[in-house]
Structure 1
Amino acid sequence: MTSGQRVRQIANVLNATTLLGLLLAKCARTAVHTGPRGLMIATGYRWHLPFAQAFTVGNVVLFRAAPAEALANPALLRHEEQHSSQYAWCLGLPFLPLYFLAAGWSQLRTGNPGSANVFERLAGLEAGGYVDRHPMDPGPRRKRRRPAGKNARDGIEA
């Protein structure tokens, strides 16, 4: 483990998000294993929310897959590791409302919670299973009405 990964691990223990992740893993009855780079891997997550194939709380990465399948997708694990670092940078729990605001903004702009979500973009959209969509077309633009009796070019009464 690098010194940066160790600092992230300690930060996420101190800011209580790793403990929250372990509590969530226990409540969801997942199997927790020591993972690479200071991460903990919880496998067999069965709850309906969130809809993702994997998600992170602190240094705990929760996978729907079995242990062998979870580690067989290194790109997804790296993506989730980036979220672990984001928890540390956001000082823990503030990451959650910031993430949900970014997901809502993305949903409004693109029709999905990931494409315009700054946290997902920084973690790598494709690795996280997201499609890079452009902002949705806002629809036809309405012409602005000019005030009656004004010349459009110079604003002088006609």
Structure 2
Amino acid sequence: MAAHERVPSAPLGEVGPSRLARNPWPYRLKAVANVLNLSTPFGLTVAALGRARLRPGPRGLVLGEHYRPAFPIATAFTVGNVVLTGSDWASLLARNPELLQHEERHSWQWMVCLGLPFLPLYVAAMGWSVLRTGDRASANVFEVDAGLERGGYRPPPTT
């Protein structure tokens, strides 16, 4: 089996209760929008280049495991509706059960930013955060919106 082919899905359980989880239409809309804005096809390309193993995830996400490149430096990252990690989802969620909720929020951000414009906007937000706080997440509007602690980031220092 080629590395980019889908592997059988292991049970991940429900990631968390959500009003949206009872109505699949918002997730379908996001999935279609992220295909049309080219962010999910770009994410699938990144996954293939990184030789990640893909499987369907909850609420329209595609989960990729064992992504090989060391960039970006992150426990997990999202491109469109594709969520990638160099590890495996079972062990990540055992350590941080809310990580997938954090990454799913990024998939909504890709949709709101109309796809690929998310990249320069995210880089600018990361630069702003580094200038303001010395780290890439504390003042990054995208990471704050996704929930810093859910993503495994430390909360911003209080002054």
Band the TM-score falls in, shorter-chain normalisation: 0.7 to 0.9
TM value normalised by structure 1 = 0.81
- For structure 2, the 5+ residue unaligned runs are 1-20
| Letter of the 2:123 counterpart | F
Match of 2:26 in 1: 4
Q: CA deviation at 1:70?
A: 4.2
**Are the equivalent residues in 2 in contact too, given 1:54–1:64 (CA < 8 A)?**
yes
- Describe the SS at the equivalent of 2:55: strand
Report the aligned-residue RMSD. 1.6
- Of 75, 81, 90, 2:98 maps to 75
Higher relative contact order, structure no. (Cα contacts within 8 Å, ≥ 6 residues apart): 2
Match of 1:103 in 2: 126
After TM superposition, list the pairs within 5 Å mapping 1:8-157 onto structure 2: 8-72=30-94, 73-134=96-157
TM value normalised by structure 2 = 0.81
Counting aligned pairs with the same residue, the percent is 54
Q: Post-superposition, which runs of at least 4 consecutive aligned residues in structure 1 deviate over 6 A?
A: none
Count of matched residue positions in the alignment of Structure 1 and Structure 2: 136
Distance of 2:88 and 2:31 partners within structure 1: 24
| Letter of the 1:38 counterpart | G
Larger radius of gyration: 1
Structure 1 residues 126-135 or 39-48, which shifts more? 126-135
- For structure 1, the 5+ residue unaligned runs are 138-158
